[in-house]
């Protein structure tokens, strides 16, 4: 199933709850929540108190993408704040197996992300254990960047692995996705589409509906 995950990084934080409701009511299944610590990535976004507060605005799945160093320290806190899926970066964890175990032990879905420069081999050992693989299609840290098409080879390799092993798992792609590159991203095998600026720039409800229409 194809899923749209609007990234609230590009939303208007002054009315964040309403911005989330707009895309959820338009049909977005996930809300993509980017957490940045200023260490793993150069920018700082928001954390648990904000997530807990906006959790009240919708029942949509909260897809929490932790761009933070050693996320294992905060898994329980993010689950208590309302995360339904927690993504950690392979580059940010000393013990990725333990981190995946901790996420699952909290009763939420576990996902692992790789940056554009990280070889696909780094995520392959975890594909059986996780619920979703996230392939970054920009260097993490900021919304509104240009899509890096080379990462689609990694999507294809992961999708082939899942297909060959009869696993119907999710592959998420994040960064620079727009109406023009969406077809090639879906064709490569990604089925969870993160889109920030191309949803929230302009009419968020109309953009959400257009994405969902193109993803059918």
Ligand X SMILES: O=C(CO)[C@H](O)[C@H](O)COP(=O)(O)O
Q: Residues annotated as binding site for substrate?
A: 7, 65, 141-144, 174-176, 196-197
**Residue 174 known to be catalytic:** yes
Indicate whether 197 belongs to the interface with ligand X (CB under 6 A): yes
Stretch that binds ligand X, among 54-62, 123-131, 159-167, 193-201 (CB under 6 A): 193-201
Q: Pick the closer one to ligand X by CB: 130 or 192.
A: 192
Bridge-based pairing of strands 30-36 and 61-67 is parallel
Cα separation of the two ends of the chain: 9
Q: Active-site residue among 12, 34, 97, 170?
A: 34
Exposure string over 166-186, b if 16+ CB within 10 A, otherwise e: eeebbbbbbbbbbeebbeebb
Rounded to 5°, the CA angle 198-143-92 comes to 135
Which residues lie closer than 8 Å to 93 by C-beta, 6 or more apart? 70, 71, 72, 99
Indicate whether 195 belongs to the interface with ligand X (CB under 6 A): yes
Indicate whether 145 belongs to the interface with ligand X (CB under 6 A): yes
Shortest spacing between CB 18 and ligand X, in angstroms: 19
Indicate whether 144 belongs to the interface with ligand X (CB under 6 A): yes
Residue list for the binding site for a divalent metal cation: 32, 34, 65, 174
Rounded to 5°, the CA angle 80-83-89 comes to 115
Shortest spacing between CB 193 and ligand X, in angstroms: 9
Stretch that binds ligand X, among 3-11, 19-27, 68-76, 95-103 (CB under 6 A): 3-11
- CA 119, distance to chain mean position in Å, is 19
Shortest spacing between CB 164 and ligand X, in angstroms: 29
Pick from 53, 34, 51: which is nearest to 43 by CA? 34
- CA 169, distance to chain mean position in Å, is 14
Instruction: Write out the residues near ligand X by the rule CB under 6 A.
Output: 7, 9-10, 32, 34, 65, 138, 140-145, 174-177, 194-198
List active site positions.
34, 174
């Amino acid at each position: 199933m194809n899923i749209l995950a609007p990234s609230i990084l590009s939303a208007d934080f002054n009315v964040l709850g309403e911005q989330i409701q707009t895309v959820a009511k338009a049909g977005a299944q996930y809300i993509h929540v980017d957490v940045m610590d200023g260490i793993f990535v150069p920018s700082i976004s928001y954390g648990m108190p904000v997530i807990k507060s906006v959790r009240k605005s919708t029942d949509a799945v909260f897809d929490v993408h932790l761009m933070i160093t050693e996320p294992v320290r905060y898994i329980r806190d993010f689950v208590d704040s309302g995360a339904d899926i927690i993504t950690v970066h392979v580059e940010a964890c000393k013990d990725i197996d333990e981190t995946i175990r901790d996420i699952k032990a909290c009763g939420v879905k576990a996902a692992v992300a790789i940056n554009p420069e990280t070889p696909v081999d780094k995520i392959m050992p975890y594909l059986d254990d996780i619920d979703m693989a996230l392939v970054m299609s920009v260097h993490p840290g900021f919304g509104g960047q240009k899509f890096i098409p080379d990462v689609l080879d990694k999507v294809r390799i992961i999708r082939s692995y899942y297909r060959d092993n009869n696993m119907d798992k999710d592959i998420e792609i994040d960064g620079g996705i727009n109406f023009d590159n969406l077809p090639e991203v879906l064709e490569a095998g990604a089925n969870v589409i993160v889109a920030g600026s191309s949803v929230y720039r302009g009419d968020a409800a109309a953009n959400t509906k257009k994405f969902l229409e193109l993803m059918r």
